[in-house]
Copies of this chain bind each other. A is one copy, B any other.
Amino acid sequence: MNDPRHYQQLIEQRLSTLELGSRPPELYDPIRYMLALGGKRMRPALLLMANEMFGGNTETSIGPALGIEVFHNFTLLHDDIMDKAPLRRSQPTVHTRWNNDIAILSGDTMFVHSCQLMMQTSSELQAEVLADFFKTAIEVCEGQQLDMNFENQPHVSIADYIEMIRLKTAVLLGCSLRIGARLAGASALDADRLYHFGTDLGIAFQLHDDLLDAYGDPEKFGKQVGGDIIANKKTFLMLSAIESADMYTLDELNDWLRRKDFNAVEKVDAVKRIFEKLDIRSRTQQEIDRYFDRALSALSAIPVADNRKVALRTLSEQLMVREH
A108 at the interface (CB under 8 A from B): yes
A137 at the interface (CB under 8 A from B): yes
Which of B119, B134, B137, B141 makes the CB contact (< 8 A) with A27? B141
User: What distance in Å separates the Cβ of A147 from its nearest Cβ neighbour in chain B?
Assistant: 10
A105 touches B27 (CB 8 A): no
B148–A101 CB distance below 8 A: yes
Report which residue of A26, A82, A112 has the largest number of chain B beta carbons within 10 angstroms of its beta carbon: A112
Tell me whether A197 is interfacial, beta carbon within 8 Å. no
Interface residues of A in 102-135 (CB under 8 A from B): 102, 104-105, 107-109, 111-113, 115-116, 119, 123, 126-127, 130-131, 134
Q: Which residues of B are found within 8 Å of A104, using beta-carbon distances?
A: 78, 81-82, 104
Q: Which of A136-154 contact B (CB under 8 A)?
A: 137-138, 141-142, 144-146, 148-149
Task: Name the B residues within 8 Å of A131 (CB-CB).
Answer: 116, 119
Tell me, yes or no, whether A303 is within 8 Å of chain B by CB. Answer: no
- Neighbouring B residues of A112 by C-beta, 8 Å: 134, 137-138, 141
Contacts of A258 in B (CB 8 A): none
Instruction: Given A27-B142, A126-B127, A141-B27, check contact A134 B105 (CB 8 Å).
Output: no
Count copies of this chain in the complex. 2
Total chain A interface residues with beta-carbon distance under 8 A: 37
Say whether A222 faces chain B, with CB atoms less than 8 Å apart: no
CB distance from A58 to the nearest CB of B (A): 22
A102: min CB distance to chain B, Å: 8
Instruction: Output the least CB separation between A98 and chain B (Å).
Output: 11
Smallest CB–CB gap between A110 and chain B, Å? 10
Q: Report chain B residues within 8 Å CB of A138.
A: 21, 109, 112-113
Q: Does A220 contact B (CB under 8 A)?
A: no
CB-based contact A27/B145 at 8 Å: yes
Contact pattern, A 19-36, Cβ under 8 Å of B = 1, otherwise 0: 001011011000000000
- Nearest CB in chain B to that of A145: its residue: B27
CA–CA, A116 to B23, complex, Å?
Answer: 28
A27 to B167, CA, bound (A): 14
Q: Given A119-B127, A119-B131, A131-B119, verify A24-B108 contact (CB < 8 Å).
A: no
Nearest B residue (CB) for A84: B101
Task: Tell me whether B127 and A101 are in contact (CB under 8 A).
Answer: no
Q: Nearest chain-B residue to A82 (Cβ)?
A: B101
Query: Of the candidates B26, B119, B149, which one forms a contact with A26 in the assembled complex, judged by CB atoms under 8 Å apart?
Result: B149
Residue in B closest to A81 when the chains form the complex, CB atoms: B104
Q: Could you list some 16 contacts between A and B, CB below 8 A?
A: A23-B142, A27-B141, A78-B104, A78-B108, A81-B100, A82-B101, A82-B105, A101-B148, A102-B148, A108-B108, A109-B141, A109-B142, A115-B130, A116-B131, A119-B130, A126-B126
Given A105-B145, A105-B148, 11 new contacts (CB under 8 A): A24-B146, A24-B149, A27-B141, A81-B100, A81-B101, A101-B148, A102-B148, A109-B142, A111-B111, A119-B127, A130-B130
